[in-house]
Amino acid sequence: MKTLAVLSGLLLSAAAATAEEDVTGEQVYAKKCLSCHGRNGEGSKEHPELLIGDRSLEKLTAYVAKSMPEDKPGTCVGEEAKKVSAYIYDAFYSRAAQARNKPPRIELARLTVGQFRNAIADLLASFKETAKADERHGLRAEIYNSKRPKDDKRVIDRIDAVVNDTFPGDGPTPEVKGEEYSGRWTGTLLAPETGLYEINLETMNGARLWINAQDQALIDGWVRSGDEKAHREPIYLLAGRLYPVKIEFFKEKKEKGAAVALKWKQADRAEELIPEEFLSPGKAAEIFVIRTAFPPDDRSMGYERGNLVSKAWDEATTEAALEVAGYVVGHLRALSGVGLDAPDAKAKLPLFCRKFTERAFRRPLAPEQAQFFIDRPFGEAKDLETAVKKCILLALKSPRFLYREVGSGAPDQFDTAARLAFGAWDSLPDAELFEAARGGKLGTREEILRQTERLLATPRAHAKVRQFYQQWLQMDRLHELSKNAKRFPEFNEQIASDLRRSLDLFLDEVTWSEASDFRQFVLADYVFLNGRLAKFYGADLAGDAPFQKAFAGSGQHAGLLTHPLLMAGFAYDSTTSPIHRGLFVARSLLGRRFRPPPEAVAPLSPDLQPNLTTRERVNLQTKPQACQSCHATINPLGFAFENFDAVGRFRSTEQGKAIDASGFYWTRGGDTVKFNGARQLGESLASSEETQAAFIEHLFHFMIKQPVLAHGLDRPESLRQSFVASGYSIRKLLAEIIASSAMVGARTQGKNP
CA atoms within 13 A on the CB side of 227: 0
Checking if the pLDDT of 747 tops 50, the result is: no
CA atoms of 143 and 568, how far apart (whole Å): 45
Judged by DSSP in three states, 658 sits in: strand
CA atoms of 263 and 163, how far apart (whole Å): 8
CA atoms of 710 and 540, how far apart (whole Å): 51
Residue 9 contacts residue 3 (beta carbons within 8 Å): no
Task: Tell me which of 203 and 256 has the higher pLDDT.
Answer: 203
Per-residue pLDDT tens over the stretch 473-483: 998 777 779 99
pLDDT over 70 percentage in the chain: 92
Mean pLDDT score, 694-723: 93
Checking if the pLDDT of 12 tops 60, the result is: no
DSSP output for 309-353: --HHHHHHHHHHHHHHHHHHHHTHHHHHS--TTSTTHHHHHHHHH
Q: In which element (H, E) is residue 233 found?
A: strand 230-237
In CATH terms, are 25-101 and 139-280 the same topology? no
* Mean model confidence pLDDT for the chain: 89
Beta bridge partners of 433: none
Tell me: cis bond preceding 624? Omega within 30 of 0 counts. Answer: no
Number of H helices, E strands in the chain: 29, 18
pLDDT at 396: 98
- The single-letter DSSP state of residue 246 is E
Task: Tell me which of 30 and 169 has the higher pLDDT.
Answer: 30
Q: In which element (H, E) is residue 376 found?
A: helix 376-380
pLDDT at 169: 60
Checking if the pLDDT of 752 tops 60, the result is: no
pLDDT at 600: 61
pLDDT at 55: 77
pLDDT at 750: 35
Checking if the pLDDT of 8 tops 60, the result is: no
With bands split at pLDDT 50, 70 and 90, how would you rate the model's confidence at 7? very low
**H-assigned helices in 381-430:** 384-396, 399-402, 413-425
Stated length of the chain: 753
pLDDT at 153: 81
**H-assigned helices in 404-560:** 413-425, 431-438, 445-456, 459-472, 493-512, 520-523, 531-537
CA angle 549, 554, 556 (to 5 degrees): 90
Judged by DSSP in three states, 225 sits in: coil
- Going from N- to C-terminal start, the domains of the chain cover 25-101, 139-280, 295-455, 471-687, 691-743
Judged by DSSP in three states, 97 sits in: helix
Per-residue pLDDT tens over the stretch 675-704: 999 999 999 999 999 999 999 999 999 999
Mean pLDDT score, 527-553: 92
With bands split at pLDDT 50, 70 and 90, how would you rate the model's confidence at 14? very low
- For residue 476, which of 562, 590, 584 has the smallest C-alpha distance? 584
- Least confident window among 411-425, 502-516, 733-747: 733-747
pTM of the model: 0.89
Q: What is the CATH number of domain 139-280?
A: 3.90.182.10
Right CATH for 25-101 from 1.10.760.10, 2.30.40.10, 1.20.1560.10, 3.30.70.20:
1.10.760.10
- The single-letter DSSP state of residue 111 is P
Task: Tell me which of 648 and 223 has the higher pLDDT.
Answer: 648
Task: Render the burial of 587-603: b for 16+ CB within 10 Å, e for the rest.
Answer: bbbbbbeeeeeeeeeee
* Cβ-based neighbour number of residue 329 at 10 Å: 16
CA atoms of 432 and 134, how far apart (whole Å): 20
What is the amino acid identity at position 600?
A
Angle (deg, nearest 10), helices 384-396 and 345-361: 10
Per-residue pLDDT tens over the stretch 309-360: 899 999 999 999 999 999 999 999 999 999 999 999 999 999 999 999 999 9
